[in-house]
Amino acid sequence: MATCIWLRSCGARRLGSTFPGCRLRPRAGGLVPASGPAPGPAQLRCYAGGLAGLSAALLRTDSFVGGRWLPAAATFPVQDPASGAALGMVADCGVREARAAVRAAYEAFCCWREVSAKERSSLLRKWYNLMIQNKDDLARIITAESGKPLKEAHGEILYSAFFLEWFSEEARRVYGDIIYTPAKDRRALVLKQPIGVAAVITPWNFPSAMITRKVGAALAAGCTVVVKPAEDTPFSALALAEVNQGFLLDLDPLLLASQAGIPSGVYNVIPCSRKNAKEVGEAICTDPLVSKISFTGSTTTGKILLHHAANSVKRVSMELGGLAPFIVFDSANVDQAVAGAMASKFRNTGQTCVCSNQFLVQRGIHDAFVKAFAEAMKKNLRVGNGFEEGTTQGPLINEKAVEKVEKQVNDAVSKGATVVTGGKRHQLGKNFFEPTLLCNVTQDMLCTHEETFGPLAPVIKFNTEEEAIAIANAADVGLAGYFYSQDPAQIWRVAEQLEVGMVGVNEGLISSVECPFGGVKQSGLGREGSKYGIDEYLELKYVCYGGL
């Protein structure tokens, strides 16, 4: 009943009005107009074999605004990075569509903010359940549009869903404070309230997880969102909208307004091409109805968005570039260090923001580590199409990414580095590069001070702990860092001295929904995930209650 009241009081459009002028009847997977089947998604062209057999409902190509699938005046192609084949033509939204999405989110906010924490928790939990039910299809979409090996894509979908599960629980743990003041007739209260509409701009390397990590927190707090996914991977964001909408539609139509899922306008998705990305990003980040910007991507783009945010003093959280050091001290267990290096460097073919970018190995253990690392790479890494069983290294996202890795390798070799294994493009195609290990690397080489985002592992030999710390901290970014040591005193010293937001000690995989994700220096602002993540979407209000 309460839900019906707030929907009416805010003047929100009833969920049933998403299908104007028609009566709804149930069908498998949702509802369709009684007069016939619902209009399907825009025609998809040349889907790769990996997407064959997927439900057409998950392969959406239009924008999702105000609870409706809306086409744009133009479309842009999305390609399979492994084969270059066109996956489909997606709505190419512009400034007009972006502003419409912001308005829809703003109109929904007045209602969504009043939904009880328990109700928001329940709805996010339903979204989590539906992601788990559809995990195989969602994983195949990730592999098709990003090239990520299917096993890793399955892992990402679980990771994505876990953020919804986590924040469904955190929604009920937003607490305020009561402060006793010196005045006996007063009490001070501190309230936490949702900040408003959040503009969410996400990258292509984790096209599902980077959305749920932000959106889960935002919706749990009572905010509404406009998501602009990366132009290379829009299908995952649109599929999440469809899954989201799935629990809007799996109920009796008479109960849609009061018992269904997340209301129209709370979650909006506006895909756009690389050509339109700059103006769309500027439109949503400068819109006065937007109160919060959350961005994951390059430091360069982050600085541009910070400039946009400054004009209207918007709240900002950003997870930007990194240059993660991976330090191996003489006391380290070599086998353990190599296993950590493999996990940290070659996940998603080296295309993660927390991938180890430079390997600093102490002189006494250097040769043994390099030999074991090379052997592990040759034994365990298999380059191939992400849909092929056994593939551990898929393609890079596009040829520009390959050119960057190639440039760094050539630069290093020209300055004296030695190729231990790999070192060139792979014969499979233009977007594939061989997993590469370099030794005799020096600090004047590009690969030591430029984020690679590819399967390149450069090894620098060092002598002392102080030298390693100095090299690691010389970067103007500080997202993640890793080191291996069996010396307890050294572990404490190094963990505290590394200028990064996250440290892996004898561990190469550090991401977890329960732990705060974020960096220092030019690697960003704020934290995502964990109990701290929801605070990014809340603001404090002090209330002085007098006359007691």
- Please tell me the distance from the alpha carbon of residue 189 to that of residue 540, in angstroms, as a whole number: 10
CA angle at 315 for the pair 311 and 319, rounded to the nearest 5° = 110
User: Which amino acid, residue 11?
Assistant: G
DSSP β-ladder status, 197-201 and 24-27: unpaired
Q: Give Dmax over CA atoms of the chain in angstroms.
A: 79
From the CB of residue 63, how many other CB atoms can be counted at a distance below 10 Å?
Answer: 27
Q: Name the strand (E) or helix (H) holding 341.
A: helix 334-346
From the candidates 107, 231, 242, 319, give the one annotated as an active-site residue: 319
Burial class of residue 325, CB neighbours in 10 A (0-12, 13-18, 19+): buried
User: Which amino acid, residue 296?
Assistant: T
Q: Are 223 and 195 in contact (CB under 8 A)?
A: yes
- The verdict on whether 507 is a catalytic residue reads no
- Please tell me the distance from the alpha carbon of residue 432 to that of residue 394, in angstroms, as a whole number: 7
The sheet carrying 418-421 orders its strands as 418-421, 436-439, 456-462, 356-362, 324-328, 480-484, 502-505
- For residue 82, which of 25, 142, 20, 34 has the smallest C-alpha distance? 142
| Catalytic center residues | 319
